[in-house]
């Protein structure tokens, strides 16, 4: 079993625009009103990067800046793990359109944003953080894989790690083959020891059994976006304690136990 601590978090999705509001929805204190999400550029990005940033970068960094301010990022200098099943579907769609033309062409800006670690690059530029970043893709198990990797790094290196998990819908016609219902991103600031800022203790282990599901309509969001597999964990964090099983590899599950620090 691996034990670590959660110091802060953020969430961005339709009807869940920040953690305080999302926590009320997850506790059943407010209805989930899935209003369209406008992906504006995060404040932590310099002006030039704001103009160049793609939807995936905007989504990922909006969650990240909720969990960690620019000042805190520069002071703590955490390592970062970016977890996404699909990267930037809009960029993929646009590149496919351009490459299917005559002659086939590719925009340098689109290509620049198409690589899976583009949001990690923007994060490093925005925060002037020299610490390592890792970008992970593992299909529907991307969130659990990213959390395990981040936890291992926290324990092995005894340093804070920011986990950012995000995914967006594909445009047509790719959406017919790869269905993602709505944008979703979360960010967890993890550390190896408890502090005055710590919100909860997380204990992680591998287990078997049925994965934890949500009540509707949040279950539709959970099933409709790989990054939203984080919702059962966010739900028990909103309630301060509990257990959940998240989908991992094959028949394995990531078993998470949350206990409060405050």
- pLDDT at residue number 168: 95
With 0-12 CB in 10 A as exposed, 13-18 as middle and 19+ as buried, what is 91? buried
- Please write the tens of the pLDDT for every residue from 49-82: 888 888 999 999 999 999 998 888 888 899 999 9
pTM: 0.94
On whether the CB atoms of residues 234 and 20 are closer than 8 A, the answer is no
Instruction: Give the integer Cα–Cα distance in Å for 60 and 186.
Output: 8
Class of domain 2-198: alpha beta
Instruction: Give the integer Cα–Cα distance in Å for 31 and 15.
Output: 9
Q: Hey, which bits of the chain come out as E strands?
A: 2-12, 79-83, 133-136, 161-167, 184-191, 200-208, 242-247, 252-260
- Please write the tens of the pLDDT for every residue from 179-220: 899 999 999 999 999 998 899 999 999 999 999 999 989 999
- pLDDT at residue number 6: 97
- pLDDT at residue number 92: 82
Q: Are β-strands 133-136 and 252-260 bridged in parallel, bridged antiparallel, or unpaired? A: unpaired
- pLDDT at residue number 45: 85
Sequence ranges of the domains in the chain: 2-198
Half-sphere exposure of 130 (CA within 13 A, CB side): 0
Q: Which portions of the chain are predicted below pLDDT 50?
A: none
What one-character-per-residue DSSP string does 18-42 give? SHHHHHHHHTTSS----PPPP-PPP
- pLDDT at residue number 250: 83
Measure CA 168 to chain center.
11
- pLDDT at residue number 7: 96
């Amino acid at each position: 079993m691996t034990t670590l601590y959660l110091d802060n978090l953020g969430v961005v999705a339709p009807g869940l625009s920040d953690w305080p509001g999302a926590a009320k929805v997850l506790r059943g204190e407010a209805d989930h009103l899935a209003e369209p999400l406008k992906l504006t550029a995060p404040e932590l990005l310099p002006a030039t990067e704001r103009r160049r940033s793609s939807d995936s970068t905007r989504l990922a960094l909006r969650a990240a800046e909720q969990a960690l301010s620019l000042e805190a990022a520069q002071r703590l200098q955490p390592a970062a793990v970016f977890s996404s099943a699909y990267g930037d579907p809009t960029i993929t769609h646009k590149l496919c359109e351009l490459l299917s033309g005559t002659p086939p062409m590719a925009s340098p800006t689109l290509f620049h944003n198409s690589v899976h670690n583009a949001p990690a690059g923007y994060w490093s530029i925005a925060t002037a953080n020299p610490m390592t970043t890792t970008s992970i893709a593992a299909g529907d198990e991307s969130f659990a894989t990213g959390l395990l990797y981040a936890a291992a790094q926290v324990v092995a290196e005894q340093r804070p790690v920011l986990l950012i998990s995000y995914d967006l819908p594909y445009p047509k016609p790719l959406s017919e083959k790869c269905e993602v219902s709505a944008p979703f991103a979360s960010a967890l600031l993890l550390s190896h020891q408890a502090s005055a800022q710590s919100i909860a203790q997380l204990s992680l282990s591998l287990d078997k059994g049925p994965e934890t599901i949500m009540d509707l309509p949040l279950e539709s969001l959970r099933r409709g976006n790989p990054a939203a597999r984080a919702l059962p964990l966010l739900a028990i964090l909103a309630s301060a304690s509990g257990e959940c099983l998240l989908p991992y590899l094959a028949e394995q599950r990531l078993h998470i136990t949350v206990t409060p620090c405050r």
